[in-house]
Chain A
Amino acid sequence: MGLTSTTHGHVTVIRVDGQLTVGNRQELKATVQAGLDAGGRKFVIDCSSTGYIDSSGLGALVTIAKRVREADGQVRLCGLNEDLRSLFELTKLDTLFAIFPGAGEALEGY
C-alpha cells in the first residue's frame, strides 16, 4: 500500500493505493493522527486507487472516524468502486460515513 497525503486548503486528502488491510492499517491511522496533531480537522480518504479493503481496514476507518469526530472534525470517503461500496453496504458502514463519488465532490463545500 502507498499513502499519498495532500492538502487542499484546510482539507487533508489521503489517497490509499493498493489495499487497506491488517498489514498496513496502522500507517493510515498514523497519517490521520499526524494530520490531527498538526491541527487538521477535515479529511478525505480517497479510495479510487484501492483494490480491496479487509475488515481490519474497515475497522481502522471506523477508529479514524471516531477519533476525528471526537476532535470535532470530519472524515469523508470517496472513490469506492462497486466491490468496495458493496462491503460498506453489507456491513452497514455506509451509514457511518459520508461517501462521495470522487475527490472533487468530496471537497466541494467542505
Chain B
Amino acid sequence: MISDPRELSFERVPGQPGAGAEAALVLRFPSTVGYADPAVDLIARECYPEGDPGRQALFRLRVALAEAVANAIQCGNGADPAKFVQVQVELFSDRIRLAVTDEGPGFDPTAVPDPRDPGLLESPCGRGLFIIRHLAEQVEFNEKGNTIWMTLPRW
C-alpha cells in the first residue's frame, strides 16, 4: 500500500514493464471522487522522479489522466466505492503509456458526440474524451470499452 499524505490508500499491484519500457506502475483505488486528484498527483510524481519536466508535458499528463480517472470513477463505476479503478503506467524514454480501467460495462467511444456542437456547448459534461483525444498522441480502447489506453509525450 502507498499512503498518501491526505490519508488515502493506494494499492500498488505488481507490474512488469512491457518491451522497451523503463518502469511500470499499477495502482488501484476505490471509486470516490476524493481519490481523483491525489491519484493524478501520485502518478505525476512517479513519472518524473527527477523533477519538473516543464509546464506543457505536466499539463498534458495531469489533464488527460484526470479526465480518464474521473470518467472511470463516475461513468464507469458509478462512483461506487466498492468498485475499483486501476491505472497502469509504463514509462519509456520519450513517452508515457497509461491505461485506466474501471469495472463498468464499458461504452462505445465512437458514439460520444462532439461537445462543440452548438446544442451541447452549455452542457456541464461530455468534454472529457474530446480533451483526451486532443492532448494524447494516441488513444485506444479495449473491445469492451472499459479500458482506455493513452500515449503521451514524456517531455
Contact across chains for A90 and B131 when beta carbons are under 8 A apart: yes
Stretch from B20-28, B80-88, B92-100, B119-127 forming part of the interface with A: B119-127
Contact across chains for B127 and A58 when beta carbons are under 8 A apart: yes
Contact across chains for B124 and A92 when beta carbons are under 8 A apart: no
Using a CB–CB distance below 8 Å, which chain B residues touch chain A? 33-34, 36-37, 40, 55-56, 59, 62-63, 66-67, 70, 73-74, 115-116, 121-128, 130-131, 134
Contact across chains for B55 and A22 when beta carbons are under 8 A apart: no
Q: A52-B62, A54-B67, A62-B123 are in contact. List 20 more A-B contacts (CB 8 A).
A: A19-B62, A21-B40, A21-B66, A21-B70, A22-B66, A22-B73, A51-B62, A52-B66, A54-B128, A55-B70, A55-B126, A59-B125, A59-B127, A66-B122, A81-B55, A91-B130, A91-B131, A93-B121, A95-B121, A96-B121
Contact across chains for B122 and A24 when beta carbons are under 8 A apart: no
| Residues 37-88 (chain A) with a chain B CB within 8 angstroms | 51-56, 58-60, 62-63, 66, 81, 83, 87
A-B contact pairs, 10 of them (CB 8 A): A21-B70, A52-B66, A54-B70, A55-B127, A56-B125, A66-B122, A83-B55, A91-B130, A95-B121, A96-B121
Q: Among B33, B56, B115, B123, which residue has its beta carbon within 8 angstroms of that of A22?
A: B33
| Smallest CB separation, A23 vs chain B (Å) | 4
| Smallest CB separation, A110 vs chain B (Å) | 23
Q: Among A1, A54, A62, A96, which residue has its beta carbon within 8 angstroms of that of B66?
A: A54
Using a CB–CB distance below 8 Å, which chain A residues touch chain B? 1, 19, 21-24, 51-56, 58-60, 62-63, 66, 81, 83, 87, 90-93, 95-96
| Smallest CB separation, A58 vs chain B (Å) | 6
Contact across chains for A22 and B59 when beta carbons are under 8 A apart: no
What residues of chain B lie closer than 8 Å to A52, measured between beta carbons?
A: 59, 62-63, 66
What residues of chain A lie closer than 8 Å to B127, measured between beta carbons?
A: 55, 58-59, 91
Contact across chains for B59 and A62 when beta carbons are under 8 A apart: no
| Smallest CB separation, A47 vs chain B (Å) | 13
Contact across chains for A83 and B121 when beta carbons are under 8 A apart: no
| Smallest CB separation, B59 vs chain A (Å) | 4
When chains A and B are docked, how far (Å) is the Cα of A22 from the Cα of B56?
Answer: 21
Contact across chains for A59 and B37 when beta carbons are under 8 A apart: no
Contact across chains for B59 and A55 when beta carbons are under 8 A apart: no
When chains A and B are docked, how far (Å) is the Cα of A95 from the Cα of B34?
Answer: 31
